Structure 1
Amino acid sequence: MREYLMVLLVAAITTYAATNLVRRLALAVGAVTPVRARDVHSVPIPRLGGVAMFVGFAAAVLVGSRLPFLGDLFATSQEIYGVLIGAAVISLLGAIDDVRELDWLTKLAGQVIAAGAMAYFGVQLWSLPVAGVTVLPGPVLVTITIIIVVVSTNAVNFVDGLDGLAAGVVFISAGAFFAWAYLVSRDFNPPNVFTTATFITAALMGCCLGFLPHNFHPARLFMGDAGALLLGLLLAAATISMTGSVDPSSSAATTSA
């Protein structure tokens, strides 16, 4: 648990520190949200906060790879590196959209590419926890994986409408999923609480925690699409990496429910 706390703190502190620099960048490049009739802010607010959150996540990955127990996770699997690549793609896509609006088809294509990159590195469904464990053909499972990522990224993007709302909701969601994944993984055979899902959610909580002080009402910076799409992708990655590892009829799933 101490290593997860370290990951969370690194992500939070790095995100908090990077946010000030990103705010200046947003003002310099004109990534500013104007005042609209339906908005609660009364003055234009810069966006691009998601870039700071990506920096925080990348810092957490770097530190996590150097820790004694989490380091073994990096040595035996490329999943987290795949998530980092997917996060970089989705953050770049969102940042471009924050500076100059992209059409929906371009954004959808970018989301599919990010999901595909994660699947290539092993972050994909290998089975479905339906009626025990259901194994489908590989292309079908990859397609379902991509759909989950696209739905999750856009769901968080739609939620992002009030100061602190999206970051707060994702922080709570990540915390709940971390607790569930941690408890379930203790019942693995052999027990192993160091999983891709728990790492991602710990880092995700840190990113949200570091960004929220800048985003509480009255917000000084919005996360923009760069942030909303990133948070949705990380939530999806944690869900996908854990789903298929647990049989819902097993004691591991039922005892922690």
Structure 2
Amino acid sequence: MLFDLTFSQLMAVLAFVLAAFVVYVLTPLMGALARRMGAVSVPLDERRMHVDAMPMLGGLGMYLAVVITVVLVAPWGDTVKAVIVGGSAITAVGLIDDYVQIRPLVKFLGQLAAIGGALAFNVRMESVSLPFVGAQVALPLWVSLIVTILWMAAIINMVNFIDGLDGLAAGVCAISALTFGLIAFSLYRVDTAIVSFALAGATLAFLRFNFHPAVIFMGDAGAMFLGFVLAVISLQGVLKTSATVALIVPLLVLAVPFFDLFLIVLRRLWRRVPFYRPGQDHVHHELVLVAGFSQRKSVLLLYGWCLLLNGAAVCMSQDWYVAAAVLGGLAAVATLFLVLLLVRTRRRNRNGLSGADAVTIDGDAAATTRSATGGDAAAAETGVEPADR
């Protein structure tokens, strides 16, 4: 059952509240520190969606909140150790990149080092359950290591990818963390559940400062830390079980960033452009720059899409298949609507009706101009799709 761990639930609530409180207190201090250090995002090119220089140390506050919380509240096990060791490593890499902008290869090597920290505490995909068949396939150690590295690297970078609009990455990660927490409770994985709720509390509190109009960004440090923790709790939760839906559930939970990652890789391979190069061809960018939605409306639309998919994931994990089918069907309709909307608007732009129109973001005086095919032309040459926009 989903709700029968009373003491553990209280610990999860405590973790949620404590992490939220720490973020609420630290974030203004992180903003002041960032301005003093010069760790700010300056809108130097058209791919950036903000107008003023923005402090970028919000992620450091979330990192401190989660680490402090899990040390004080969560059972001391492999999940907590992996979050502290690997999370510290990846946050350090992100902080360096936020301050001096390191090369993509160096950043990726830093990500691998953090993933290695998680692997050291046995955070890995040990087996794969085949959906609808019921068979569980044990993975050889070398296959397990490769699959785990690919899985974690994908989640780390796709969270970084979606951090392109105010509040988007924080909100999506909050929804995903809450979902992973509920599922972990149903599997009696208390340490993973408490880490999940700590992450949810930290990200929801950060939205107080990061939802449009944002006053601080999480930076690469925050985006990569959030992605790392989501990767850990996905591996330590449902993927550690023999349930037939073990592989489907985390894919549903993270479907929105996975969808964006898939489209970006596909598009850039087609154009023969490095997939890690910054650009304005993400789904969230196109909702603003192609479809003409405000930042706030675009983010809320993606929140709704994410909630449907996460609801389906929870229902599927509890064998509530009718409810899962209904929510999954609604999510499929939302996906089709989104694709048709962007395709139709792109076609209209290509026909010259609005190909170079100025799009005002949420009514701000400053407007961002984009041609129908100009997404990559003005992209900067450095960074692995930065969170600093």
Deviations 1:48-105 (A, max 9, x none): 211101000111112214xxxxxxx32xx33311221111001110010000001111
Q: What TM-score do the two structures reach when normalised by structure 1?
A: 0.87
Runs of at least 4 residues off by over 3 Å: none
Check conservation: 1:153, 1:230, Cα contact below 8 A. Answer: yes
Cα offset for 1:177?
2.1
Match of 1:128, SS? strand
Aligned to 2:49: 40
Give the unaligned 5+ runs of structure 2: 1-8, 246-315, 322-389
The correspondence for 2:142, drawn from 139, 148, 165, is 139
User: Unpaired segments of 5 or more residues in structure 1?
Assistant: 66-72, 186-191
Partner of 1:56: 65
Match of 1:188 in 2: none
CA distance in 2, matches of 1:249, 1:206: 30
Work out the CA distance in 1 between the residues paired with 2:136 and 2:239: 7
AA at the equivalent of 1:117: G
1:164–1:212: 8 Å Cα contact kept in structure 2? yes
Q: Summarize the Cα distance change of 1:175–1:244 in structure 2 as closer, same or farther, 3 Å threshold.
A: closer
SS at match of 2:138: coil
Alpha-carbon displacement from aligned partner over 1:17-47 (angstroms, at most 9, x marks no partner): 1111211221122111112323332211111
In structure 1, the residue matched to 2:163 is 160
Query: In 2, are the aligned partners of 1:127 and 1:134 still within 8 Å (CA)?
Result: yes
Equivalent position of 1:69 in the other structure:
none
Return the alpha-carbon distance in structure 1 between the equivalents of residues 90 and 233 of structure 2: 16
- In the TM superposition, residue 249 of structure 1 has moved relative to its aligned partner by 3.4
Q: Distance in 2 between matches of 1:225 and 1:242?
A: 25
Quote the offset at 1:256 in angstroms: 5.5
Root-mean-square deviation (Å): 1.8
Instruction: Map 1:47-86 to 2 at 5 A.
Output: 47-65=56-74, 73-74=75-76, 77-86=77-86
Match of 1:134, SS state, is: strand
Confirm whether residue 98 of structure 1 aligns to residue 98 of structure 2. yes
Q: CA deviation at 1:216?
A: 1.5
Q: How far 1:209 sits from its partner (Å)?
A: 1.5
Which one is further off, 240-249 or 169-178?
Answer: 240-249
Q: Which amino acid aligns with 1:45?
A: M
- TM-score, normalised with respect to structure 2: 0.58
Structure 1: distance between partners of 2:15 and 2:215: 26
Contact 1:201 1:238 in 2 (8 A): yes
Q: Report which stretch shifted further, 88-97 or 124-133.
A: 124-133
Work out which structure has the larger RCO, using CA pairs closer than 8 Å and 6 or more positions apart in sequence: 1
The one-letter code sitting in structure 1 at the alignment partner of 2:71 is L
| Equivalent residue runs for 1:64-213 within 5 Å | 64-65=73-74, 73-74=75-76, 77-130=77-130, 132-183=135-186, 185=187, 192=188, 194=190, 196-213=191-208
Q: 1:233 aligns with which of 224, 228, 246?
A: 228
User: Which deviates more from structure 2 when the two are superposed, residues 235-244 or residues 35-44?
Assistant: 35-44
User: Aligned residue pairs: how many?
Assistant: 239
State the 1:253 CA deviation: 4.7
Matches of 2:116 and 2:234, distance apart in 1: 16
CA displacement 1:159-181 (0-9 Å, x = unmatched): 00111111011111112222222
CA–CA separation in structure 1 for the residues paired with 2:159 and 2:225: 9
Identity over aligned pairs, percent: 33
Residue 218 of structure 1: aligned partner = 213
Give, in whole Å, the separation in 2 of the partners of 1:201 and 1:79: 10
The one-letter code sitting in structure 2 at the alignment partner of 1:172 is I
